[in-house]
Amino acid sequence: MTTTNQHFKPTQQSGRINSLDVIRGIALLGILLMNINGMGLPFAYSDPTIAGGSEGLNLQVWIANNMFFEGTMRGLFTMLFGAGAILLTSRLEKSGAGITTADIYYRRILWLLLFGIINVYIFLWHGDILYPYAIFGLMLFPFRNASVKNLILVGCALITIGVLWDISDYRNNLDTQKNGIEMQTLKEQGVALNEEQQDVLNKWEKLNTKHTPEEVKEKIEKMHQGYWSVLMEKVKGNQFMQTWLPYRLWVWDILSFMLLGMALFKLRVFHGERSNQFYIILLVTGYLIGLSINYMETKMLIDSNFDPVTISKADQSYQLGRLFTTLGHIGLFMLFIKSGILRFLQKSLAAVGKLALTNYLTHSVVTSIIFYGDGFALFGELQRYELYYIVGAIWIVQLIFSPIWLKYFLYGPAEWVWRSLTYQQKQPFKIN
């Protein structure tokens, strides 16, 4: 007997896990805290000395982000993606889908890949995560039945490889610095450098040079052009983000956290079924280790005035800092959910989480209108702290709008399209 996809339907509202939706909503809104810097400032996502202001309130905003949110909201969202893979496949397998489970799962992931391409090349967000999520989501299916132990081992192994690569990069940069300074000294002494020595000096100058005010001004002017000009300006960077970067960074950054998220789901951590003591230990241990590492990195960067080699040095511990801080966040958020306090806020956050794809794509559309030339052309015009007025406004709108939408519709527009494509059948949309 042939099994068709039409026998199986997306998760119904009654089958959803509320705590997952609430945490997903928190993570989705939290991601914008970091993304807004790449959306509204030139070359200054991690280096406030280039644009957006590096003193006073601007510096304090950067410090808060680097301590608590850099990589951690993405890390939390990534873990939930891994958890969602198990939730989807286990539900299908229990309903008797058999081999159709793989068919539905991989179709869902491949359509997500297309959403990522649309987000990058139509909605103009070069920092999109849907594309790499889809790339590494393709690798998750064989792990769905893996033991918790093996999921943690593989996830930690991937993080370790990434850390070792970062250490190697830092050591190479130290060599570049040492050799480059030697060549620079010789040149200042009037020694004529041969071709090999000049190459060494050029390599050091390239590493040690930040974007100039002229380059920043030029970038801002380009982003103030019309839609097509902005799109073409972004093409080279988009290609870098979708080719080299996934295999240098995202595989250790994203795939590892997906696997750890699968392990946490199997341990029922995201269900809120562990004891309060467990979540308190997770919170305290995660923050104690993670924030200590983040503080060390933050101080190191500020003291060096964001020297490029020091940035490379701080990268060595980046993954460890974000991992433990993310675990601390999970402990905190689960205690918040279990406490039952601010139920109205939890309800709104859950609605944001249910509309995660729609809300995430909306971030790209709205900020493109705000920052680029066909809209208000505010790219590079705001200080770093002023960007958070925009973040706050988007948060308020989505926290209010999402629960209202779900009173009348089963899914967000993007979620409805995604589900219909995944199950090859038009899904119900309005609530009868």
Over residues 54-107, the pLDDT tens digits come to 999 999 999 999 999 999 999 999 999 999 999 999 999 998 888 999 999 999
Residues 6+ away with beta carbon under 8 Å from 34: 45, 65, 69, 70, 71, 73, 74
332 has a pLDDT exceeding 90? yes
Where in the sequence is the domain holding 116, given as residue range(s)? Answer: 5-423
pTM summary value:
0.93
Residue 262 inside a domain? The answer is yes
- The answer to whether the beta carbons of residues 282 and 323 sit under 8 Å apart is no
Residues pairing with 430 in the sheet: 409
Residue 431 inside a domain? The answer is no
Residue 183 inside a domain? The answer is yes
Q: Could you tell me the CA-to-CA distances from 163 to 142, 217, 220, 312 in Å, in that order? A: 25, 35, 34, 12
H or E stretch covering 218: helix 213-223
Residue 379 inside a domain? The answer is yes
Residue 430 inside a domain? The answer is no
Give the Cα separation of 150 and 260 in Å (integer): 10
Residue 162 inside a domain? The answer is yes
Q: Could you tell me the CA-to-CA distances from 116 to 15, 32, 369, 421 in Å, in that order? A: 27, 16, 19, 15
Residue 184 inside a domain? The answer is yes
Residue 428 inside a domain? The answer is no
Number of domains in the chain: 1
The per-residue pLDDT for range 175-221, each reduced to its tens digit, is 999 999 999 999 899 989 999 999 999 999 999 989 999 999 999 99
* In the chain, % of residues over pLDDT 90: 91
- What angle is formed at CA 251 by the lines to CA 271 and CA 331, rounded to 5 degrees? 25
- The answer to whether the beta carbons of residues 116 and 128 sit under 8 Å apart is yes
- pLDDT category of residue 4 using cuts at 50, 70 and 90: very low
- pLDDT category of residue 1 using cuts at 50, 70 and 90: very low
